[in-house]
Amino acid sequence: DAKTTQPNSMESNEEEPVHLPCNHSTISGTDYIHWYRQLPSQGPEYVIHGLTSNVNNRMASLAIAEDRKSSTLILHRATLRDAAVYYCILKYNNNDMRFGAGTRLTVKP
Amino acid sequence: DSGVTQTPKHLITATGQRVTLRCSPRSGDLSVYWYQQSLDQGLQFLIQYYNGEERAKGNILERFSAQQFPDLHSELNLSSLELGDSALYFCASSVETGGGTEAFFGQGTRLTVV
């Protein structure tokens, strides 16, 4: 059911930036792009979301392609605590959130 | 702390039994979502409620049912339990159902069916 495609896994070094890609080629004009992450043994945690413009918050940045068919979650300086499964989800008004398999991020010290 | 409370945290029960999982959403949140996550599996969407009304249904078995009460807490009822129902069950809440609304998840209920 998921309409997004993400790499199964990625690795990063601690204190380096991480770019997590997501493809959503069938996105519609009313779909928001959401990112969540799930740390081991915890519930998913909201990271960031956007519609058309790039977005920044204290956790991350979201870069959205001009055609909106892809997006990238940017962690500016990865820490060991950022090791998690990252989910990219399309969410539209009055509809549910369906998660795909996500990207498992490993952060190496 | 997301503000979403799920009880109990752990539950062990036998096959064929019935259990009820409870979710208290964040204060002011009208929408509640339920998810199932089996070992090493992704999050499977079960059902969504908004202000007491069912809004969306996912891969929820007929043996499972849910409701959202007037005080906005929600319960997920699982009956005729099978070994394969062992999983983490997550509840999430959001203030509304708009596409630009983020959801907040509880810490989950770990159900073990023996």
pLDDT in tens, A62-72: 999 999 999 99
* Interchain CB distance below 8 Å, B97 and A32: no
Backbone φ, ψ for residue A99 (5° rounding): -95, 145
Q: Is the pLDDT of residue A34 over 90?
A: yes
Confidence of residue A99 (pLDDT cuts 50, 70, 90): confident
- What does the pLDDT read at residue A1? 46
Q: What is the mean pLDDT of chain A?
A: 92
Is the bond leading into B8 cis (omega within 30 degrees of zero)? Answer: yes
Residue A82 sits at φ, ψ, to 5 deg, of -85, -5
Residues B3-54 have pLDDT tens digits of 999 999 999 999 999 999 999 999 999 999 999 999 867 899 999 999 999 9
The answer to whether the Cβ–Cβ distance between B102 and A102 falls below 8 Å is no
Highest mean pLDDT of the ranges A59-68, A85-94, B89-98: A59-68
The average pLDDT across A5-20 equals 97
In terms of CA atoms, which chain B residue is nearest residue A37?
B105
Tell me the residue ranges of DSSP E strands in chain A. Answer: 9-13, 18-23, 32-38, 45-50, 55-56, 61-64, 70-75, 84-91, 103-108
Q: Give yes or no for B25 touching A (CB within 8 A).
A: no
